[in-house]
Chains A and B, each alone.
Chain A
Amino acid sequence: MVRYIVKRLFQGLPLLLVISITLFLLMMNIGDPIATMGGRTITRQSDRERLTRQLGLDKPISVQYLYWLIGNDWTKVDSDGDGIPDNYGTRHGILRGDFGTSLVTRKPVTELIGERIPNTLLLMVASEVVTVFFALLFGIYSALRQYSVMDNIMTALLFIAYSMPIFFVSLMSMYIFAVLFKKWGLPYLPTVGMFDPQVGKTPWQIFIHMILPVFSLSVTYFAAYSRYIRSTMLEVLSQDYVRTARSKGLPRRQVVYIHALKNAALPIVTVIGLDLPFLLGGAVVTERIFAWPGMGRLFLDHVSRSDLPVVMGILMLVATAVVVFQIITDIIYAWLDPRIRFD
């Protein structure tokens, strides 16, 4: 198993390398970072040149990529503009954990991302838990009552939920649970930020501020998973071994939750595991609408200011998460399926 994991990791590395090169090339045209740096306008030509040199932007793109990847502390760089390399560089490169320094805030990228990751993870984990819980509930219920009125109604509703763009769910839920509830004198939910600055960052504040973003992030995935779980359960319930279990006179509970669900769990776990890092995509929109201080908003803020180190850092983190989750999913699958576990 350990050998398998190591092998998979090594397979993932070239993939990440290809991704990083492609993205780096795309980054070269996302705008002039110096023009928007720190909100100040840099007008003096000499300042521009100095900054360009300091940031290494005067170098050819291949060299820039190399410095980004493995740093420049092994070679002398020209720091005073006389064309002669004088001092060793200070960057260690992303491979050694140095994501570089933000062009906008001048803070290390790892620090910027590190501040935001917990907030994003909070949203994602909460959404995933809510999504999976309700999807299992609805999916299994629907499958057990195939063709019933309830099943038909739920299928139609899930189809609508599945087609809902996240921003529309967000706006609708904000309007109903914040605006209308307030108007009707009902207890209403906050819509922006992570906590009320006047109250402070208490768990309760974070909780009530989470409700709407988590709801918005969950609706589409909930609908997709419910549909998937329903069809997987239906398929499993029609298998011969379920008929065998029933012919043994086992109670329905045992047939459904042990014989059927244990088999259905295999594809369900796979889909959920592979999808999990893609929730980050939804987080971009949700965090923007709800002004949630997470990685998605960090990405949007810095992409608009052409802050290459931050943007590249976030993208590589996301791509790595996808690779890692693929491996984790494989491991869980192998652990769940005796046909693989014992081979």
Chain B
Amino acid sequence: MTSALLQVTDLQTRFHTPEGIVHAVNGISFHINEGETVAIVGESGCGKSVSMMSLLKLIPTPPGEISSGTAIYRGTDLLQKSEREMEDIRGKDIAMIFQDPMTSLNPVLTLGRQLTESMREHLGFTKEQAEERAVQMLEQVGIPDARRRINEYPHQFSGGMRQRVMIAMALSCAPSLLIADEPTTALDVTIQAQIVELVARIRESLHMAIIWITHDLGVVAGMADRVIVMYAGFIVEEADVNDLYDSPGHPYTLALLAALPRIDRRRDHHLKSIAGSPPNLLVAPHGCPFAPRCEFVIEKCRQENPPLIQIEKNHSSACWVDVKTGAPR
């Protein structure tokens, strides 16, 4: 693991609300290597966005609090850095794109201004240099007539175009890690595919690592090397992408895959939804958080939360039951 670009250990994030403490992220550990693409999958509210925002210290504190953990990026712990030091990391080494391109761009500033400011900040570019590169970036992400459109405002662009702008903005300083927080969720299906393809293409040219957050296993099948499945602030399964699809090791992953529409399925095959709702994160976790919704539940599940253990090479799962046999491990 010495070659890891980012090694996260025991990351824990909480929110102090008037109703009590929300346990958003409950001690997750994972790594990502240079140039690798990892997908983090889970339902909304499972802590996938919060954990990524914690890494960049973008969690509003208070009410948020990163209560434990380390995140070693190229030898230094991000979580120990001051706000000032983080400013040098964000956008330059680790960039982020967000879910909703309609609200993620500043409505009162021109695209040119928004595209150039991080280059001027991090790379010491002059205004002209930065604008030149911004035009190149826009052309690279497929925005026609970039030199003219750079003086326009976000509302003059469509949703898909804005997400392309966001990508151009995030990549302008050539970061070594891109965190993409559900960048296609708010877009039309056809545009989703274009964006995925665009990111995959740019990844090759920049040799950049990507953490792709999504709730849709289908989106990442083609591009991710590895998949991390999160539930209720825990990592419940981690595997190479093919292993995960072929032999899922956690009941939750099984359920997610069953909920996925597939073109090769028989027409009378019904899609399954997962019964119940995600747990109330206000209650401190006790036992396996998925137990109330699990088909394979045994008594032990309600007593003790299963640790993430290796079940095969490069494949870990947090479950007391072997889902292939239904027998306790």
Contact = CB atoms under 8 A, between A and B. Distances in A.
Contacts of B98: 240, 243-244, 247
B89 interface: yes
Contacts of A262: 106, 108-109
B107 interface: yes
B62 A147 contact: yes
Contacts, number: 85
Chain B interface size band reads 35 or more
Interface string A235-252: 000111101111111111
Contacts of A252: 83, 87
A11 interface: no
A248 B106 contact: no
Contacts of A238: 60
A79 to B, nearest CB: 63
A342 B156 contact: yes
B121 interface: yes
B96 A247 contact: yes
A250 B106 contact: no
B254 interface: no
B52 to A, nearest CB: 10
A258 B104 CA distance: 15
Tell me if A's interface is mostly helix, strand, loop or mixed: helix
A259 to B, nearest CB: 5
A192 B110 CA distance: 52
Interface in A65-106: none
B293 interface: no
A241 B103 contact: yes
Nearest to A255: B87
A147 to B, nearest CB: 6
A251 B87 contact: yes
B31 interface: no
B256 interface: no
B59 to A, nearest CB: 10
Interface string B55-75: 010101010000000000000
A255 to B, nearest CB: 9
A263 interface: yes
Nearest to B101: A240
Nearest to A343: B155
Given A247-B95, A249-B122, A250-B118, A339 B90 contact: no
Contacts of A244: 98, 104-106, 166, 169
A249 B118 contact: yes
B87 A247 contact: no
Contacts of B169: 244, 248
A185 interface: no
B203 interface: no
Contacts of A250: 87, 91, 117-118, 121
Interface in B80-117: 83, 86-92, 95-96, 98, 100, 103-110, 117
B91 A342 contact: no
Contacts of A251: 87, 121
Contact of A247 (B90, B109, B121, B122): B90
Given A244-B104, A342-B156, A259 B90 contact: no
A288 B49 CA distance: 60
A112 B88 CA distance: 64
Contact of B106 (A147, A241, A249, A337): A241
Given A243-B58, A339-B155, A249 B92 contact: yes
A63 B89 CA distance: 78
Contacts of A249: 86-92, 118, 121-122
A338 B106 contact: no
A97 B108 CA distance: 42
B153 interface: yes
Contact of A254 (B88, B110, B117): B117
Nearest to B121: A250
A336 interface: yes
Interface string A200-243: 00000000000000000000000000000000000000111101
Contacts of B104: 240-241, 243-244
B118 A263 contact: no
A164 to B, nearest CB: 30
A246 B118 contact: no
A240 B103 contact: yes
Nearest to A147: B62
Contacts of A245: 106
Interface string B157-197: 00000000010011000000000000000000000000000
Given A246-B58, A248-B169, A251-B121, A241 B107 contact: yes
A225 B121 CA distance: 33
B152 to A, nearest CB: 8
Contacts of A241: 103-107
Contacts of A243: 58, 98, 104
A268 B269 CA distance: 57
Contacts of A337: 107-108
A325 to B, nearest CB: 23
A245 to B, nearest CB: 7
A254 B103 CA distance: 19
A290 B308 CA distance: 76
Nearest to A252: B83
A192 to B, nearest CB: 47
Contacts of B56: 247
Given A244-B98, A248-B169, A249-B118, A336 B87 contact: no
B115 to A, nearest CB: 10
A247 B58 CA distance: 7
Contacts of B152: 342
Among A147, A250, A342, max chain B CB count under 10 A is at A250
15 contacts: A238-B60, A240-B100, A240-B104, A243-B58, A247-B58, A249-B87, A250-B87, A250-B91, A251-B121, A254-B117, A262-B106, A263-B108, A336-B108, A338-B108, A342-B153
Q: Across chains A and B, which 3 residue pairs bring their CB atoms closest together, nearest first?
A: A249-B90, A249-B91, A248-B91
Given A244-B104, A249-B87, A250-B87, 7 more contacts: A243-B104, A244-B166, A247-B96, A248-B95, A249-B92, A258-B109, A262-B108
